[in-house]
Structures are given as C-alpha cells and as structure tokens.
Amino acid sequence: MTNDKDSSTHDHRGWKGMRDNGASSAVYGMAFIGALLYFIQHATSFWGGVLGILKAIIWPAWLIYKLLEFLKL
C-alpha cells in the first residue's frame, strides 16, 4: 500500500462552481417562485398551468432578449 490520499476523499481545488453566487442565486430563486405563482394563478386550465411553469423557467432569457431588442444591440 502507498501513502496516497484515501480514494473516498475528493480534491476540489480546481472546481470553481457555486462560489460567491449566494445573493444572485437567492434573487433568481425568489423571482422564479414569484413568476411561478403569478403564471399559475392566472392559468384558466391545466395546460395553461403547464405553460405557466414553462414561462416561469424561461422568463429571464425572454426579458434579456426583449431588453437587447429594445436597445437595438
């Protein structure tokens, strides 16, 4: 046997994900929940509710697209 690190421990030195994103993730999460509630409350049928869930997921991309379209970029 060698003195290598135990195989059950993981080396995370190269991983840079989920660092310093707490506030933006919280804001996005709250906005997602708010949009989800809004779209589902205004749904008049089951499929309208399903469409509301999809709208709640994609609204940030739609918002940025319309903003860039408005700014003509």
pLDDT (0 to 100) of residue 28: 84
Interval 41-65: pLDDT, tens: 999 999 999 999 999 999 888 888 9
Distance spanning both ends of the chain, measured CA to CA: 61
**What are the residue ranges spanned by the domains of the chain?**
45-73
pLDDT (0 to 100) of residue 47: 95
At residue 69, does pLDDT exceed 90? yes
Instruction: Measure Cα distances from 10 to 15, 28, 58, 65 in Å.
Output: 11, 30, 34, 40
Give the global pTM: 0.59
Mean of pLDDT over the chain: 81
pLDDT band (50, 70, 90) for residue 4: low
pLDDT (0 to 100) of residue 66: 92
